[in-house]
Structure 1
């Protein structure tokens, strides 16, 4: 039996790189499978060199509820030991974006991931450590529908200002893993095989794209209280 876990990914900044190299760190227009599975692995407390086969086998999809704005930042750093200045790097982010990401798989594993999201072992972040979420991630487990149906039916998660700006009946883009045997619309190398910093490895996956006009109101669009993801790090 399979289930779907949905996550609301919203924050001041997000960065979902799939081909970042050297001094130029780019971001995709939507969360990557490696980034979201990395978030879930961290929530479970998995080590960087842990086996990822069960997570990589999950079907992944994302809906772009609020595209955000791409911004560029110049980043400086110094070597921790020598204090020597490191090369200037160019980093790109998505500002004020909102996404609904989902994973579909065995109900037992989905249940474990849901528990981990509600009480994460490590602080979750949206692609980079400098990008904490602005609100709780959890949009619940859906046991009576598949991934694509769940992404189609969840309430529009965009902020009120964006909803007023673009109006109703907007068409939202959905990107989901291409099932075996079907022709993908695009491919991306973002299926994680290993997060080991000594040798990170990723595999290609196929994508299918579609659009949906989501319900504007109803269950699934949280109005969370004040949320500070770093509160647990401070001492009184």
Structure 2
């Protein structure tokens, strides 16, 4: 398949903890193994300074393609609230009463990804990605988090604007240790078929398709709505030399690549 360059934005999502829920309700807070579409659109909306009740129409047609640099480790947090408090300070029930001492502690289970790292390409069919999105991600109106407020990113999210987002997503340095083999398998995930990735034709096999409930329709509190969308998965062997380790060594290599490739970000959020 002939590759058609698609301009877009490149983001780096890495930090000590991330959590991208799909079916999180009340006392059970799950996480997907990759950044959710709703989480990424939420990041963009927060950067632009959107209120939660504002429409998402202009953000809904963005395509999100994820490269998994490091899968991280799933971590379970057994969370408690309200233990050891007196009757006048204990948790309020649905009837407006106070819980008694032996039932005042509420428990919940919260899942996280520890030490995971992802690189994302944001693209759009119509008119490309607005420059205001890049400016907002570079200087966000509100703080940005990796799924939950307890999960700040390890650094700036925006790597830059590029004239060929998918090509750069394939070629960017990888945040993982160098393997002994000549190639390393890298997982890509997207809301669109991954046949558009600029890799050799022999690597187009074994593309998996499923659905995931993470396409947001409304972020209004108590009225949040999501719909199912397609999820495509594909593993591509990339050169081992793209693996540049961890920490400052990787960040320096990434910065050198970005400064020589990406368009500088200027302008406003509007």
TM-score by length of structure 2 reads 0.71
Asked if 1:203 corresponds to 2:217, the answer is no
User: How big is the shift at 1:177?
Assistant: 1.1
Alignment check: 8 A CA contact 2:49 2:142 kept: yes
Structure 1: 5+ residue stretches without partners: 224-236
1:125 maps to what in 2? 145
1:1-236 correspondence to structure 2 within 5 Å:
3-78=7-82, 83-84=90-91, 85=104, 87-105=106-124, 106=126, 109-143=129-163, 145=164, 147-156=165-174, 158=175, 162-164=176-178, 169-178=183-192, 185-212=209-236, 213=238, 215-216=242-243, 221-222=254-255
Larger radius of gyration: 2
Q: Which moved more, 1:105-114 or 1:128-137?
A: 105-114
Q: Which moved more, 1:68-77 or 1:100-109?
A: 100-109
- In 2, Cα distance between the equivalents of 1:168 and 1:75? 43
Alignment check: 8 A CA contact 1:51 1:194 kept: yes
For these two proteins, the number of residue pairs brought into alignment is: 213
Alignment check: 8 A CA contact 2:208 2:234 kept: no
After TM superposition, where is structure 1 displaced by more than 4 Å over at least 4 residues in a row?
A: 106-109, 164-168, 217-220
User: How big is the shift at 1:3?
Assistant: 2.4
C-alpha distance 113-33 of structure 1, shift in aligned 2 (>3 A): same
User: How big is the shift at 1:69?
Assistant: 0.3
